[in-house]
Every structure is written in C-alpha cells, then in structure tokens.
Amino acid sequence: MYSGSYTALITPFANGAVDEKALQELVEWQISEGTHGLVPTGTTGESPTLTHAEHRRVVDLCIEAAGGRVPVIAGAGSNSTAEAVELLLHAKASGADGALVVCPYYNKPTQEGLYQHYKALNDTADIPIIIYNIPGRSVVNMSVETMARLFKLPNIVGVKDATADLARPSQQRHAMGPEFIQFSGEDVTALAYRAHGGHGCISVTSNIAPALCAEFQNHCSAGEYGRALEIQDLLMPLHDALFVEASPGPVKYAAELLGKCSAMTRLPLVPVSETTKTVVRDAMIHARILNG
C-alpha cells in the first residue's frame, strides 16, 4: 500500500503562528522533488505544542496542497486515547489516506494497554493506521507479539519503527508476513531496514534533501543496493547532524538555510547552538544540497 520516502513534515511558524503559505509551498516542493508521501503533524511537526485547531489546520492544508498526488498519512497520536480518537476522526473526515499513531508517551502503558489503545482507534474509523513505535520518546516499546495481535484488526496496517533495532524488521516480517508495512523511522537505518524487508522510511532528512531521499528509496525498491549505499554515504553526516540537538531544531535550521521557512520552534525547544549550526551546514555541503 505505502512504500518509499515519506517526509515527516516540519511545521513552519511565523510570528508564533503556523506559516500556512510556507507549509503549502513546502508540500509543493516535496512533491516536485519526488517524495512518495507526506506525514504532517508527527513529532517532527511539533505536534505536542500545536493546539488542536492548529493540528487539524495543518492536516487540512497538507491534504489540500498535495491534491491527491501523493498519499498523506496524518499524525493522530496522543497519550490520551480519547484525544487520539478525536484526531483520528478528523484525519478520516479530512480525506487523509492513513493515520500515524504514536505509542502513548509518559503514561507507560503495559502491552495490554497498548493493545487496547490501538484497538479503540481501530474500532473508531475505517482508515489505515500505522503504529509509531519510538521508545526513545514514548518510554514504552511495543513488542512484536503485541504488534502481531494488532495486525489481526482490519485497520492496523503497519509500523513506523524508530527502535534502531535491526532485528525488528525481520522479526516483524516473520510474525506478520510481507503484507505488514514496515517503515524505518530512523534515516540512519533506512538502508539496512530495506535490506531486511522494510518498505521505506518516514524521514526527517527528506525535509531538506527530498530528491536524494526519494532516489535512495527508488534504488532500494529496484534492488540496486550499491547505488543506494552511495547515496547513504552522501547523506549519513546529514542524518547524524539533524539529531545533534532535539529534533526538529536542526532540520528547521537547515530548512531556513535553504529558504524554505523560518527556523522558529516552540518552547520548550529553543534555537540550536552555533556549534550545531556549523555541524548542520557542513553536512549539507557534504550532501551537495548547500554550496560551500
């Protein structure tokens, strides 16, 4: 159903509000550069500090700008099941092609709690749901066994895996089969993830290097791993640089260097340090997306 390079979209801000013009221009640029799909209002989109109205507006603007040319998977996660239900219903009503739902953060639910959370969402709306397993931010790690239980439900279709555990794609493929959609949630593991049977990457780096990330995934899909490795080598310093500080601070700074939007983030995130700026600039020059 879904494969390739999906951009975990940043949310541009101007004067403290969502910069709607910059957001839609970013969507247009992404599509023109070959991005295979878009994921607004995820962690990279600063969903924790968007109001509910802003969250819904960003999803609507993204879908409008995409115009059906590429799939839009709307972030619809929360540590409150009731709130996640509301966001999921909006994603469905807005015409999103799917929803990305993060494992509930801070609450530290059990595996049974995780199952019941996603089951409630599955039962709410007929829309494909991708599990977002990111223990580094949510503090809970969904087991392969829980994922296999959830995949038996009609609307649970796959996972964005940000565990950085490269045993997981093979274990999940064994448990659920090749029909279970597996996206890497870490650019640094994207090559290995594809080699282990994954379908693509929901990428931070593709915010600023969409053409290279799409080309990389195209080569993986064609089994041309030698050429994919060359692109991975080109992008690897950038993958690392964008997480020198908490994301999306570095990637928004990189987007500002490219003239795509302001580097503004919302508290508690603050502007990146001068040291980080140098690391990001150098990595962009290495990737040939910024002139030296």
C-alpha 255/C-alpha 207 separation (Å) is: 7
Sign for the pseudo-dihedral over CA of 181, 186, 187, 189: negative
Q: How many helices (H) and strands (E) does the chain have?
A: 12, 10
C-alpha 76/C-alpha 141 separation (Å) is: 18
Please identify every residue annotated as catalytic.
132, 160
C-alpha 204/C-alpha 131 separation (Å) is: 17
C-alpha 27/C-alpha 85 separation (Å) is: 26
Distances, alpha carbon 179 to alpha carbons 36, 88, 108, in Å: 19, 23, 29
Instruction: Give kind and range of the element (H or E) at residue 119.
Output: helix 111-122
Say whether 161 sits in a helix, a strand or coil.
strand
Task: Tell me phi and psi for residue 62, to 5 degrees.
Answer: -65, -45
Sign for the pseudo-dihedral over CA of 252, 256, 260, 266: positive
Q: Is 208 exposed, middle or buried (0-12, 13-18, 19+ CB in 10 A)?
A: buried
Say whether 77 sits in a helix, a strand or coil.
coil
Residue 83 tokens read as 């709130």
Task: Please measure the distance between the N-terminal and C-terminal CA atoms of the chain and give it in whole angstroms.
Answer: 40
Distance of CA 56 to the CA centre of its chain: 17
The label of the residue with tokens 């972030």 reads: 75
